[in-house]
Structure 1
């Protein structure tokens, strides 16, 4: 019986991952940088310029948004450690997106490399 780790490994064999060292160039060349983590994870900190589309909604959002449904756009995905992003990249490839990549090691690798993180601040109501 397959495990989720088997599924992630299989997905990674079919997708393109960029290293954290290559990520800044990939981000500048991407039409969309998509963080597939959950909303609370995104609000705790994310890569500048990222849009948040949680993994569970990705295919629906991509298919129903006029801008996102263009299958030839450069899309770069990331999540916490790269598993959700790999599954997301594979799913988008299956939907016909031709230029999809993910960041190897995900957000954790980005932070460990000392890269900049955006941390939104909630308004102070005091």
Structure 2
């Protein structure tokens, strides 16, 4: 599985690169703030929502510390999706939140 550092994600956002971020934390966790324009799909629903995603696009998976997003990334990768896991999760995120 590919991995990406939070500062690399922040740099992509700053460049206005078109990136697809999926936050797999629970609803109450996301209420504290998420990366701007990140799609929220709780980990337990990823399996049921994967058909809403495009296999031609790459997705960056995010959670609180990187563990749940790694599980989500593995699941999607096993189904043919291009994904990266943001190491350290929101605990390491220093960029903007919404």
- Residues 56-112 of structure 1: per-residue CA shift (max 9 Å, x gap): 00011112x2xx1x2121111100000000011010010111x210111000100xx
Q: Aligned residue for 1:58?
A: 46
SS in 2 for 1:75: strand
TM-score scaled by length of structure 1: 0.70
Q: Distance in 2 between matches of 1:108 and 1:34?
A: 16
5+ residue gaps, structure 1, are 1-14, 119-126
Structure having the higher strand fraction is 2
Q: Which has more radius of gyration?
A: 1
Q: Aligned residue for 2:76?
A: 92
5+ residue gaps, structure 2, are none
Across the aligned residues of Structure 1 and Structure 2, the Cα RMSD in angstroms comes to: 1.4
Q: Which aligned segments of 4 or more residues in structure 1 are displaced greater than 3 angstroms?
A: none
Q: Distance in 2 between matches of 1:90 and 1:75?
A: 12
Structure having the higher helix fraction is 1
